[in-house]
A and B are shown apart, each in its own frame.
Chain A
Amino acid sequence: DADVTQTPRNRITKTGKRIMLECSQTKGHDRMYWYRQDPGLGLRLIYYSFDVKDINKGEISDGYSVSRQAQAKFSLSLESAIPNQTALYFCATSDSPGGEGGTDTQYFGPGTRLTVL
């Protein structure tokens, strides 16, 4: 079984709809992240969470919100989707540097391809 899973893997929706992307991990990591990837722009950080009670905005948080329901679950919501949010979305996890052997290396889920029409 994959350590980091994302659902759905593909989603097509319409402008104005509310969308939730979900991420689950079995790695036991404290830290979780949401990125989007666009051609020519690379990976950009949307939100990150270093533990269940910690939520932080990344580089491009406008139009997005997140919820950390448990150590293993981190969901990303688009309250009112717009076409320029069409992208490939990745969830990632990492172990804190203080953890056993931890280097804070990030491990990525398989991605969700979102299309907003």
Chain B
Amino acid sequence: GQNIDQPTEMTATEGAIVQINCTYQTSGFNGLFWYQQHAGEAPTFLSYNVLDGLEEKGRFSSFLSRSKGYSYLLLKELQMKDSASYLCAVRDRNSGYSTLTFGKGTMLLVSP
């Protein structure tokens, strides 16, 4: 099985930087994904890490350390529209199939 932990809620100020952490335990790690989900809407893909290191995409960056079972999503120059839930998901390869297990999500509230 898998265990994925991320903080339930975080708050930050417009224009600031926020880091959302995710820790996981899995036997067949095969990639980690971050999704953004606004209330009542579909999750949308943000980033993918399969090797150790930092992946940067504009204001968003994601880091992975496979040996530590740890990832973070870094959001820079926060905007009000970044208020959303951020989902960490780990892909596990077992028995020839790869499926995603999602964490419960971190609700980020950006205030003026």
Chain A: residues with CB nearer than 8 A to chain B?
33, 40-45, 48, 50, 56, 58, 88, 90, 97, 103-111, 113
Residues on the B chain within 8 Å of A40, using CB:
104
B residues in contact with A110, CB < 8 Å: 41-42
Q: Tell me the interface secondary structure of chain B in the complex.
A: strand
Interface residues of B (CB under 8 A from A): 31, 33, 40-45, 48, 87, 89, 91, 97-105
Among A41, A48, A108, the residue within 8 A (CB) of B43 is A108
Q: Which one of B42, B48, B98, B105 lies within 8 Å of A109 (CB-CB)?
A: B42
In the bound assembly, the distance between CA atoms of A90 and B102 in angstroms comes to: 13
- A42 touching B43 in the complex, CB below 8 Å, given contacts A104-B98, A105-B48: no
By Cβ-Cβ distance, the 6 closest A-B pairs, closest first, are A42-B104, A108-B42, A43-B102, A42-B102, A108-B43, A110-B42
Q: Determine whether the beta carbon of B48 is less than 8 Å from that of A103.
A: yes
Contact of A111 among B41, B44, B91 (CB under 8 A): B41
B45 → A minimal CB distance (Å) = 6
Judge whether B31 and A56 touch: CB under 8 Å.
no
| A105 smallest CB distance to B (angstroms) | 6
